[in-house]
Amino acid sequence: MLTLSIFLSVLAQTPIDDPNRFNQYLLLAYAVMWLVAMAYLFNVANKQRNLRQEIRLMRRLLEEDEARRPE
């Protein structure tokens, strides 16, 4: 009787290892990596957008200037 009660109490205190118990870290890791990657891509895309505007503006300026004084 004593051994049975000890056995049952031990069994009750030991959690069965649930493979999903750390899933929040799994999600967090993927989320953070995704964020880092997106931050970089966003940065590059932003720079590209600004540069495209600048190029368009400068090309137009050059065209106007060349039209006025063709050198």
Phi, psi of 18 (to 5 degrees): -85, 120
CA dihedral 38, 42, 48, 50 (to 10 degrees): 180
Q: Is 1 helix (H, G, I), strand (E, B) or coil?
A: coil
Residue 3 vs 69, nearer CB to other proteins: 69
Residues 22-61 that bind other proteins (CB under 8 A): 22-23, 25-26, 28-30, 32-33, 36-37, 40-41, 44, 47-48, 51-52, 54-55, 58-59, 61
Looking at the Cβ atoms of 6 and 44, the one nearer to other proteins is: 44
Which residue is it, tokens 């959690």? 15
Contact flag: residue 63 with other proteins (CB under 8 A): no
Distance CA 68, CA 49 (A): 29
Which residues of this protein are in contact with other proteins, per CB under 8 A? 17-23, 25-26, 28-30, 32-33, 36-37, 40-41, 44, 47-48, 51-52, 54-55, 58-59, 61-62, 65, 69, 71
